[in-house]
Amino acid sequence: MSEGKETVINARYYLEAGAFVTKEISRYTLNAVRVEPHPEGGAVIIATDGHTMGIFHDRDGKCDEPITIAWRPEIARLAKAKKGETRQIKVNGDLDIVKTATKHDPARTLVRFFEAILTANSQFPDWRKVLPDATEALKHSDFNGAYLARCALAKREFGTEGITIFQKDENTQAVIRTQRDDFIGIVMPMRIGLDTPYPVAFQPFLRPKAPSQATTKTEAKAVAPKAATAKKKKRA
């Protein structure tokens, strides 16, 4: 990390990002939490295991330059705030876990971790590449996450992988299948009211949609008559 640069995030984001960090030690570049500046303020926290990815926005965070923090269970354990308090991860060379000030207690550093920041050679993947184009139409259905978790629990207890969701449309009940042949789940949809997959804070990271060939041809036809008109005027 460059001298004089600082990163400060709410420690709970490191803790929550842990659900997406790879558990495979050999994939050391993914055994970490990435923190980057948000273009409109705050910090973006990213973690992935190659199968899932969690992206968080700490509106009150600070990130002077992108850094990659090693995932360590001991950091996660100390990042968990007690009731009524807030903890921060502060990086300025080393990594400090700081308990922020309260009405009755001043701010103080709880613990310092050395060598918790990975070097520039530990390349975290370009997470933006998996985000769809900004204007790409995406279909969606809404479900109660706890209901889907029940089906996932039935899957996990019997050692199978993955679930498949069958549904006529977003307003009908869904049939949940696993690789088990002795279980199916039925989950009724719900309406959350989310019409876009991206909250405002995440829209700056979307790739603009490339113009289609049809659009390009239409623009070319529109330009051609203008060019012909210009030639006629020149002859006159």
Per-residue pLDDT of the chain (236 residues; tens, 9 = 90+): 677 789 999 999 999 999 999 988 788 788 899 999 999 999 999 999 988 889 999 999 999 999 999 899 999 999 999 888 899 999 988 899 998 877 778 888 889 888 888 765 568 888 888 877 766 677 888 898 888 888 877 765 566 667 889 998 888 899 888 887 777 788 999 888 887 888 889 888 887 766 655 555 555 455 455 544 444 444 54
Neighbours of 54 (CB within 10 A): 17
Say which residue the tokens 């948000």 belong to.
38
**Dihedrals φ, ψ of 166, to 5°?**
-105, 130
Indicate the DSSP class of residue 128.
G
> pTM for this structure?
0.73
Say which residue the tokens 């970490």 belong to.
32
C-alpha 171/C-alpha 123 separation (Å) is: 43
C-alpha 147/C-alpha 136 separation (Å) is: 29
Indicate the DSSP class of residue 190.
-
Say which residue the tokens 């295991």 belong to.
49
Helix, strand, coil shares of the chain, percent, nearest 5, are 30, 25, 45
Query: Mapped to the 3 state alphabet, what secondary structure does 202-230 carry?
Result: HHHHCCCCCCCHHHHHHHHHHHHHHHHHH
C-alpha 37/C-alpha 58 separation (Å) is: 10
Contact (CB, 8 A) for 58 and 46: no
Domains and CATH numbers, the chain: 7-130 (3.10.150.10), 145-187 (no CATH)
C-alpha 34/C-alpha 55 separation (Å) is: 10
